[in-house]
Structure 1
Amino acid sequence: MLSKPLMTVHEVAEVLKVSEDTVREWIHAKSLRAIKFGREWRVAVRDLESFLNAHANRDPTTG
């Protein structure tokens, strides 16, 4: 069972305040891990969190 829901490309774009095309580019470049269901992509919340952590410009533990 999934502990966290899967997000659509639209939902990811809304959360990050970027275009859906940008999210799709990240997916196709394999920067953002996603799962394809038919013609649609879904992103696990944990994968979005990992993507954001990997692209952060500072260590959140250092304040």
Structure 2
Amino acid sequence: MERITVDIDKPWLTVADICEYMDASTFVVTSVLRSGEVPAVKFGREWRVARRDFEDWLNHQRTLDRSDAEFGVDV
């Protein structure tokens, strides 16, 4: 399985970067960050995510989705 890489040329991603990449709302992205599911740091009111950590999370999610499909779980 080929590893997902994010085509954004900066080491730290903002919530806006992730929203655009994932086509997700700010609410969804910040909820995931607050949960600790994706390693992130908060500077004042702004979240930052290391691009590598985001890529690792994406790849882990894809692995989970494939595992669910193998066991007949609808994804």
| TM-score (norm. length: structure 1) | 0.79
Which structure has the larger Rg?
2
**Count of aligned pairs between the two proteins:** 56
User: 1:7-60 CA distances to partner (integer Å, 9 max, x unpaired)?
Assistant: 11011110011111111010111111111111100011001101101111238x
Percentage of pairs with the same residue = 41
Q: How does 1:1-63 map to 2 (within 5 A)?
A: 4-56=10-62, 57-58=65-66
Q: Write the letter of the residue equivalent to 1:14.
A: E
Deviation beyond 4 Å, 4+ runs, structure 1: none
Instruction: Give me the whole-angstrom Cα distance separating, in 2, the residues matched to 1:33 and 1:19.
Output: 19
Q: Gaps spanning 5+ residues in structure 2: where?
A: 1-9, 68-75
